[in-house]
Structure 1
Amino acid sequence: MTTIALLGTGLLGHAIGQRLLAQGLTLRVWNRTATRISTLVSAGAIPIEQLSESAQGCDAVITVLKDGPATSDVVHALDDLRGRCLIPMGTMGISQSRDLATFMNSRGGSYLEAPVLGSRPEALNGSLLVMAGSDPDVFKQQQHLLSHVSAQPVLVGPVGSGAATKLALNQLIASMTHAFSLSLRLVQQADVPIETFMEILRPSALYAPTYDKKLKRMLEQHYSDPNFSTALLRKDLMLFLQEAMQSGLNPEGLSGLSTMLVQATAHDLDELDYCSLHELTQSIRP
């Protein structure tokens, strides 16, 4: 039976753990805050007592951690990596991912970056979108494992390409949510009924399903119970900007949005759903 170590059991990591258990895998779990593994342990997961021993007896190590530095700190603390495959599913920078691949190779292990698009509901039903970056042989070896959380995991290229794809997609989340919020504010100011606006938008080439997904939350100012927080969105946008500049691109158009997301901390929006940035596009008052 396949044995997996899962390191990081926040909202997404916990849901991935539930899915792996439901699929019949043997799961060992660790989280920096130990109380966050309790429900997974109650469901049959095996607690990891010492972080350094996480990889022992495991076929693969999946990490779902905040960012690249957090992932690197945890992975560098692991012993017995020879023959193990490290599969980080969190968002991180391109160079950060490549550095982890180099480290795993130096320890006799393999590496497959597998950031995901989707959140808790998609993780629970196995419909996350996985964008893998790895050697094709490593992807083939781990494809069955990935299929437990994704209907069709995609190999997008070598290590670094998965990280780049995930950052590109998360930039769209930020930009599209911001643009939709501004459009809603403007039509409301002009007394255009929101449903009239949506009836025109939905059949057009401008429409994206995320607009309807977040519309009710925005109109009702219901931002609690997030699957993806404003703080995480800001972190990913800042990382995208960093990678874009290092690649010689011109991301100046995003500077206003990044500044706005920094303001979210003062407005206590950080731990709320990312569409709470709608609160920051209200009318500017003297």
Structure 2
Amino acid sequence: MTIALLGTGLLGSAIATRLLGCGHTLTVWNRKPERCQPLVDLGAQQANSPALAAAQADWLITVLSDGPTTQSVLIDQVGDALRGRRVLQIGTIGPAESQQLADAVHALGGSYLEAPVLGSRPEALEGNLQLMAGGPDELMEEALPLLRQLSQKPVHLGPVGAAMTTKLALNQLIASLTHAFSLSLHLVQQGGVAVEPFMDLLRSSALYAPTFDKKLQRELSGDYSNPNFPTAHLRKDLDLFMAAAQQAGLNSEGLSGLAALLQRSSAAGLDELDYCALHQLTAGQTAAATPD
């Protein structure tokens, strides 16, 4: 296939690398052109604009930071070049934003499938992302050969909005589980309890989630570098979940404290670090009391 990929951040660059490894002809674009160079070294072509990237593509894949950015790039910059193009929108945005984007793409003569993923750079490179799709049945069928190179089992959840709703529901669990584990870990340590006996009890209980062990060493060592999913993205996705929950008439006030906590990550210098760096925020006064 001839594919254009817009957005070569952590996830986008990994997806692009995977597609090149599968033998596709790939054109890439990023608002920071230097971020395309590693992909050019692997055989991708680099476009000077989103419209030029889309011009000859069978599929146009977007992996951009948020809804407004995706709208700006696809509708304002690609614009009329969307006619006859099939868009695969992977970036996490709100369900309502996704529907608005689909309507705008259709108005310009293109077709639109939302396809957010669970997983990050390692899974993308291996083609093991958990991919959920929302959009027309016939477009899903057309996309399957491509989707199966990114995910072993792509799941079609329904019309546009269904996949983004599911993605936000899953990312809310990432935020809540990480927050809950961080607080518990701090408390047992402050109480003088050794970490391993606590973890042994947790692992053998119904309370255990694998993400606890996945993040344990980072939290114990305080090393949050080389993220696959940064704190700023977790904050953005939790805010999107709360907005969607409010629109659905749900009571999400229990998440307000966590959302407020994550608002402090920028000033704390945690935005570009791994999302479990929120462990520094839950430390509260104990962080200041920790000796150098």
TM-score range, shorter chain: over 0.9
Secondary structure of residue in 1 paired with 2:43: coil
Q: Distance in 1 between matches of 2:71 and 2:115?
A: 15
Question: Which amino acid in the other structure matches residue 157 of structure 1?
Answer: G
**What runs of 5+ residues in structure 1 fail to find an aligned partner?**
none
State how far apart, in whole Å, the 1-side matches of 2:6 and 2:241 are: 24
Measure the CA separation in 2 of the matches of 1:164 and 1:46: 34
TM-score normalised per structure 1: 0.97
- The aligned residue for residue 267 of structure 2 is 266
Q: Which residue of 1 aligns with 2:230?
A: 229
Distance 1:102 1:70, change over 3 A: same
One-letter code of the match for 1:173? I
SS of residue in 2 equivalent to 1:54 = helix
Corresponding residue number in structure 2 for 1:198: 199
- Give the equivalent residue in structure 1 for 2:24: 25
> C-alpha distance in 2, partners of 1:107/1:280?
45
**TM-score if structure 2 supplies the norm length?**
0.95
The residue type paired with residue 112 of structure 2 is Y
- 1:17-69: CA deviation from partner (whole Å, max 9, x where unpaired): 00000000110100000000011011100111232222211111000000011
Structure 2 equivalent of residue 162 of structure 1: 163
- Structure 1, 51-60 or 118-127: larger mean CA deviation: 51-60
Shift of 1:83: 2.0
> What is the one-letter code of the residue matched to 1:48?
A
Kindly, what percent of the aligned residue pairs are identical? 56
Structure 2 residue aligned with 1:68:
67
Q: Report the Cα distance in structure 1 between the residues aligned to 2:105 and 2:273, rounded to whole angstroms.
A: 35
Moved more, 188-197 or 85-94: 188-197
Higher alpha-carbon deviation: 65-74 or 275-284: 275-284
Structure 1 distance, partners of 2:188, 2:48, is 55
CA distance in 1, matches of 2:253, 2:186: 24
Question: How far does residue 283 in structure 1 lie from its aligned partner after superposition?
Answer: 4.6
State the partner residue of 1:47.
Answer: 46
Amino acid at match of 2:116: P
Equivalents in 2 of 1:128, 1:91: separation in Å?
A: 14
Matched, 1:11 2:5: no
Mean Cα deviation higher: 44-53 or 176-185: 44-53
Note the alpha carbon deviations across 1:60-102, whole angstroms, 9 max, x for none: 1000000011000000111322221111111001111001111
Amino acid at match of 2:46: P
* Distance change >3 Å, CA 283–CA 69, structure 1 → 2: closer
- State how 1:175-254 maps to structure 2 within 5 Å: 175-254=176-255
Q: Using the alignment, how far apart are the partners of 1:3 and 1:82 within structure 2?
A: 16
Distance of 2:271 and 2:103 partners within structure 1? 34
Please give the alpha-carbon distance, in whole angstroms, between the structure 2 residues aligned to 1:272 and 1:81: 35
| Matched position secondary structure for 1:238 | helix
1:126 aligns with 2:134: no
Which residue identity is paired with 2:208?
A: Y
